[in-house]
C-alpha cells in the first residue's frame, strides 16, 4: 500500500504557548510584574521567596503561586510573609504549565498586585519547555551544589533571565568556587545577570529588591494604555 | 520526565488535524526536535509506544529529526555551531552569543498516511 505525506507544521507547545501569551498580556495590562523561579529540589527556592515576599511586602502588594508534587507545606510557610499565597499541587507532573497558572489565578484581582512570584516544581529539566507567561525567569543555584550545574543543565540556564546563587553563607564550608560558577553561567547564557544571596543572613537580598523595583518601574512605563472612555 | 505530557499534546494535535482533514491510518509521524529544546529523544520514543496504545495511532511510528544548536555571531555576522551545548560562543572568534538561531524546535512536521 502506498503512502502520502501530509504537511502539518504545528508547534507541539502551541496550546501552552498561546495561553502563556494571553497570561503575559493580562499581567502587562494589570501592571503586575511576574517572576518565575526554577531550580533543582533543595536549592533554597522557598527560603529565597520567603525573604522576597517579606522584604517587598513593606512597600508593595505581593503574591505567590507555589508548585509542588504534593503537600501544602510551602504555601503554609510563605503565608507568614503574605496571605496572598496559593499552592499548586501537580500530583505526578514534574512541572507547572500555563493552564495550571490560569486556574490558580481564578478570583485574584491582578491589578491589585505589584509582584507575583511563581515557584516552579523543583526540577532543572522539564520546566524549561513550559512558558508560564512570566516576565522574567530566575534560575537558582545553591552554593552547596556543584559549580558545574549550569553546564549540566544548559537548557534551563539558557532559557532563564537572571541567575541567583543561594546559600552563600555556606559557600566557604562547601568549598564552593563562586568564580567558577559565574564563569559556567556566563558560558551557557552570555550576559546573564547574577546575584549572590543568603536568605538566612539576608546578604545580597537588597540588590535583588532593587533589581525588582527597577523592573517594576520599567514594566509600568511600558504598560499598555488602559482603554478608558473619557468624557469630552 | 515531561516527555509523556509532550507526547499527549502531539497525539491531541494529530487527532485534531486528522479530523479536520479527514485523515485515517497515520503510519509515520515526523517530528522535529531541537537538541536545545529540553526534550529527550529516547524518552519521547518510549512515551510514544505507551501513549498510543488503544488510540488510532497505535500502529504508527514516530520519526524524529534532531535539529542542531546554531547561534548567531554578531562579530563574524554569521550563523555558527557552538563548540558545545554548554559553551554558547563562536567557534572561530570565541565571542559569546545569546542568540539561538536553531535548536529549540519542537514541531510536528508532517504525517505519512496510507493512500
pLDDT tens readout for residues A55-101:
999 999 999 999 988 888 888 999 998 999 999 998 888 899 999 99
Across the interface, whether the CB atoms of A125 and B2 are under 8 A apart is answered: yes
B88 interfacial to chain A (CB closer than 8 Å): yes
pLDDT reading at A22 higher than 80: yes
- Residue A80, C-beta contacts closer than 8 angstroms, at least 6 positions apart: A50, A54
Q: What is the mean pLDDT of residues A8-22?
A: 93
Q: Which runs of E-coded beta strand occur in A12-161? A: 33-38, 62-68, 85-89, 115-119, 136-142
The reported pLDDT for the residue numbered B107 is 96
pLDDT tens readout for residues A140-178:
999 999 899 999 999 999 999 999 999 999 999 999 999
Give the global pTM. 0.91
Domains detected in chain A: 32-220 (3.40.50.300)
Radius of gyration of chain A (CA): 19
A1, A15, A187: residue with CB nearest B9: A15
Burial of B42 (0-12, 13-18, 19+ CB in 10 A): exposed
pLDDT band per the 50, 70, 90 thresholds, residue A1: low
Q: Which of B34, B86, B109 would you mutate first to test chain A, the one with the most A CBs within 10 A?
A: B86
A146 interfacial to chain B (CB closer than 8 Å): no
B1, B39, B88: residue with CB nearest A187: B88
Cα(A192)–Cα(B29) distance, rounded to whole angstroms? 38
Q: Are B45 and B64 in contact (CB under 8 A)?
A: yes
B23, B88, B108: residue with CB nearest A10: B108
Radius of gyration of chain B (CA): 17
A94, A155, A184: residue with CB nearest B1: A94
pLDDT band per the 50, 70, 90 thresholds, residue A227: low
Taking each helix axis from N to C end, the angle separating B41-52 and B3-21, rounded to the nearest 10 degrees, works out to: 60
If phi > 0 it is left, if psi is from -120 to 50 it is alpha, else beta; for residue A167 that is left
**A101-107 contacts: CB < 8 A, separation 24 or more?**
A101/A23, A101/A65, A101/A132, A101/A133, A102/A19, A102/A23, A104/A65, A105/A65
CA distance B64 to chain A (A): 13
Q: Are A180 and A150 in contact (CB under 8 A)?
A: no
pLDDT tens readout for residues A200-225:
999 999 999 999 999 999 989 988 87
CA distance A159 to chain B (A): 10
Q: What is the mean pLDDT of residues A3-10?
A: 92
pLDDT band per the 50, 70, 90 thresholds, residue B99: very high
What is the average pLDDT score of chain A?
93
Across the interface, whether the CB atoms of A188 and B2 are under 8 A apart is answered: no
Cα(B4)–Cα(B52) distance, rounded to whole angstroms? 11
Q: Are A167 and A204 in contact (CB under 8 A)?
A: no
Cα(A39)–Cα(A128) distance, rounded to whole angstroms? 10
Across the interface, whether the CB atoms of A8 and B114 are under 8 A apart is answered: no
pLDDT tens readout for residues B30-59:
999 999 999 999 999 999 999 999 998 999
* CATH code for the domain of B19: 3.30.2320.80
Cα(A176)–Cα(A202) distance, rounded to whole angstroms? 19
The reported pLDDT for the residue numbered A232 is 46
The reported pLDDT for the residue numbered A230 is 52
Task: Look up the ipTM and state it.
Answer: 0.85
Q: Which residues of B touch A15 (CB under 8 A)?
A: 9, 12
Across the interface, whether the CB atoms of A187 and B10 are under 8 A apart is answered: no
Q: Which residues of B touch A151 (CB under 8 A)?
A: 86
Q: Which residues of A touch B109 (CB under 8 A)?
A: 7-9
User: For chain B, what is the domain count?
Assistant: 1
Across the interface, whether the CB atoms of A3 and B112 are under 8 A apart is answered: yes
Q: Which residues of B touch A188 (CB under 8 A)?
A: 86-88
Sign of CA dihedral A9, A15, A20, A25: positive
Helices (H), B22-111: 41-52
Domain hosting residue B29, numbered range: 3-113
Amino acid at each position: 500500500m502506498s503512502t502520502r505525506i501530509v504537511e502539518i507544521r504545528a508547534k507541539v507547545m502551541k496550546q501552552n504557548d498561546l495561553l502563556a501569551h494571553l497570561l503575559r498580556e493580562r499581567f502587562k495590562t494589570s501592571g503586575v510584574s511576574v517572576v518565575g523561579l526554577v531550580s533543582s529540589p533543595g536549592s533554597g527556592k522557598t527560603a529565597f521567596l520567603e525573604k522576597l515576599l517579606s522584604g517587598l511586602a513593606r512597600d508593595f502588594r505581593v503574591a505567590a503561586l507555589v508548585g509542588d508534587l504534593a503537600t501544602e507545606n510551602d504555601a503554609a510557610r510563605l503565608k507568614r510573609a503574605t496571605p496572598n499565597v496559593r499552592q499548586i499541587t501537580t500530583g505526578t507532573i514534574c512541572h507547572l504549565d500555563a493552564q495550571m497558572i490560569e486556574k490558580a489565578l481564578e478570583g485574584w484581582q491582578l491589578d491589585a498586585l505589584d509582584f507575583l512570584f511563581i515557584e516552579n516544581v523543583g526540577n532543572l529539566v522539564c520546566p524549561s519547555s513550559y512558558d508560564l507567561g512570566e516576565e522574567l525567569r530566575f534560575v537558582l543555584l545553591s552554593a552547596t551544589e556543584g559549580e558545574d550545574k549550569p553546564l549540566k543543565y544548559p537548557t534551563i540556564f539558557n532559557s532563564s533571565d537572571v541567575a541567583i546563587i543561594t546559600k552563600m553563607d555556606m559557600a566557604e564550608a562547601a568549598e564552593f568556587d563562586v568564580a567558577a560558577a559565574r564563569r559556567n553561567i556566563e558560558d551557557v547564557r552570555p550576559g546573564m545577570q547574577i546575584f549572590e544571596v543568603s536568605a538566612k543572613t539576608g546578604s545580597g537580598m537588597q540588590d535583588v529588591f532593587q533589581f525588582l523595583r527597577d523592573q517594576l518601574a520599567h514594566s509600568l512605563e511600558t504598560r499598555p494604555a488602559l482603554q478608558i472612555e473619557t468624557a469630552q | 520526565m515531561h516527555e509523556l505530557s509532550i507526547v499527549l499534546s502531539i497525539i491531541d494535535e494529530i487527532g485534531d488535524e486528522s479530523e479536520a482533514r479527514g485523515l485515517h491510518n497515520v503510519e509515520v509521524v515526523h517530528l522535529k526536535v531541537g537538541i536545545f529544546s529540553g526534550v529527550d529523544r529516547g524518552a519521547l520514543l518510549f512515551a510514544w509506544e505507551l501513549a498510543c496504545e488503544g488510540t488510532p495511532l497505535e500502529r504508527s511510528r514516530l520519526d524524529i529529526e534532531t535539529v542542531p544548536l546554531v547561534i548567531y555571531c554578531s562579530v563574524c555576522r554569521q550563523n555558527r555551531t557552538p563548540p558545545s551545548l554548554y559553551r554558547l560562543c563562536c567557534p572561530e572568534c570565541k565571542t559569546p552569543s545569546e542568540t539561538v538561531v536553531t535548536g529549540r524546535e519542537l514541531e510536528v512536521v508532517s504525517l505519512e498516511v496510507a493512500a
